[in-house]
Structure 1
Amino acid sequence: MGSYTIANYLDELKVPTFAGSLNWDHTTIDSMLRNRATYGEYQPKSFAEGHKRPSRAALPSPTISLQS
């Protein structure tokens, strides 16, 4: 299933967008799916000299087995 299909499906279900626009955009879906946080990875950050920077290495997401 591609990002266009997912966006159209969310529109059909009338799922509200994050920004309040009328329709889901496929680029939003692409960004969400490419973001490692979507899959459970947490990157701790801290502010230094007015900028947000990683404070240590990313914490790996737990391994999930789909086998029964």
Structure 2
Amino acid sequence: MTWLTLQTIAWCLVGFCVGALAAWLLAMMLFPHENDPVQEPSPAAEPDAVADDAEPVDAGPESAGEPS
């Protein structure tokens, strides 16, 4: 009966390794960017970005709600 115990332990170990490898590969395919460092977009890449010290531009009397 020792051979049956050794065979069971060996096949359980092989099955565990195959399952762990399959789970790891599946996780890498579904979530490929988990290990990549986060890169913030540069302010120069945003053309519509307004600086904190920028003053608003007056568009004329039409923007003030005055009838012409």
On whether the aligned pair clears a TM of 0.5, the verdict is no
Structure with more strand by fraction: 1
Structure with more helix by fraction: 2
Q: Which has the larger radius of gyration?
A: 2
Give me the TM-score of the superposition, normalised by structure 2: 0.21
**Higher normalized contact order (CA 8 Å, seq sep 6+, divided by chain length):** 1
